[in-house]
Amino acid sequence: MEKLIKTGLILSGGGAKGAYHVGVVKALAEYGIQADAIAGASIGALNGSLLAASHSMQQGYEHLNRVWQTLSQQSPLKFQSKNLFVPQYLVLLASFGLRLNITNILPFIAYRSVKGLLKQFDIYPEFLKKLEDQLGSRNSVLDNSPLTALIDEYLNWQDLQRGTPLYVSVYKSNGGLIDLMGCIAAMLDMKDTAPSEFFCLQQFSEQDWKNALMASAALPLLYESQKIGDNSFTDGGQGGWKTVQGNTPITPLVEAGCNLVIVSHLSDGSLWDRHNFPDTTVVEIRPQKEISRDGAKDLLAFDSSRINEWIEQGYTDTIACIGKIKEALDNRSHLKSIMQEQQKAEKVMLSSSERMHEIMTKIRK
C-alpha cells in the first residue's frame, strides 16, 4: 500500500543563523520525527546535505552539531584578497534576507558600470588597471575553498546517494552585477526576481553534485557562480524575492508527494505564506523571539557564543511547535488507519461477492 504520510523538511537560508537548524533537527530527533525528503536554500542546502546523508535524524543532528562547532572555531569566510580596498559591504551579502544599504552599494555599481563601458570602447585608464590589481582580478570577493574543504571532509557521496532525497534551490545567473541589481530592484518593489530552480542532488553524477550544492550558496559577487550544464547558477535565495519562493523551497517537496511539510525559517517575519499551498499540511517553525542579534553582522557571526545561542533557540522554538507537528502526524495516522480498515472491509465484501457469484453460477447450471 502506498504510504499515506510523506513528510518533507525545508531548511531556509540565513548565513550563520543556519546554526538554528541544528536545534530544530535535535528536537525533531528527540520526538522521533523523520523526513522523507529535504529541501534547502543557501546555508539550508549545506545543512540539508549533511542531514540527507545521515542514517537518521539523530545521526543528522550529531553531524550538524559537529560541523557547526567546527565553524564556531574557524569561520568559513575567506577573502580572495587581504587588501582593505575590497568593498566591505559585499561581505554583508553572506546570506539572503539582508536589507542592503543602497548608499554604499551605488558607488560600487557605478564603478563596475563605468569599467564595463570603458572596456566596451577599448578605453581603460592606467589608474583603473592599478585599482583592479589592488582589488584582485577575480569576480568574487570571498574564496569558496573553505566551503569546498568542509564538504570534502564531512560529506560522502555514497552516503548521500543512499540517503534522503535532497532538493537544493539555485538561481540561473545573468552575471553577478545584474543578479545583485535585480535583488535591489525587488527590495525597492520595482520588479520581482525570476523564480529559482530546484535540483535533486542525488540525480547528479559524483563529479557534478558538488557544483549544484555550492551554487545554492554562491551569492552574486560574493562567491563565484557555479557551472551546471550550459548555465551558471548562484544563490537560490534570490529567486521569487517578493514571495520568498527560492529561499523557502516547498515546491519540489510538494511535487515529490510530500503532504506534510515542516518549514524552518531563519528570518524574523518572513513573508512566505503557507496558505499558498492549501492541499499541503504545513507546520512552520518561526523564531519565537527575535533571531537577529546584531543586524547584518549576524550573517557573519561564526563564533561559539552566537552559534550555540542560535542552536538553543532553534531547539526551544521547535519544542514549542512539536505539538502541532505531532497533531498533524497523528491525524494523518488516524486517517491512514481508517482507510486501511475500509480497504479491508472492501476486500471482504469483494470476496463475499465473488463467492456468491460462484454459487449462483453453479445453481444456474
Instruction: Work out whether strand 37-41 and strand 7-11 pair parallel, antiparallel, or are unpaired.
Output: parallel
How far, in Å, CA of 300 to CA of 16, rounded? 6
> Around Cβ 288, how many Cβ atoms within 10 Å?
12
Grid coordinates of 179: 543578479
Cα 144 versus chain centre, distance: 18
Per-10-residue mean pLDDT, the chain, length 365: 77 90 96 95 94 95 93 64 43 38 46 54 56 49 69 87 95 78 76 92 88 83 80 89 93 95 90 92 92 59 78 95 78 59 61 64 64
Identify which of 10, 13, 43 has the alpha carbon closest to the alpha carbon of residue 25.
10
How far, in Å, CA of 109 to CA of 114, rounded? 9
pLDDT of residue 175: 77
Give the Å distances, CA to CA, from 115 to 81, 125, 130, 177: 20, 10, 13, 12
pLDDT of residue 173: 86
Q: Give Cβ neighbours of residue 131 (< 8 Å, ≥ 6 apart).
A: 85
pLDDT of residue 364: 62
pLDDT of residue 342: 63
Candidate list 12, 140, 225, 235, residue with the active-site label: 235
Candidate list 12, 42, 72, 270, residue with the active-site label: 42
pLDDT of residue 154: 86
Residue showing cell 542525488? 202
> Around Cβ 292, how many Cβ atoms within 10 Å?
16
Partners of residue 226 on adjacent β-strands: 233
Q: Is 133 a catalytic residue?
A: no
> Around Cβ 179, how many Cβ atoms within 10 Å?
24
Quote the DSSP letter at residue 194: P
Q: Is 235 a catalytic residue?
A: yes
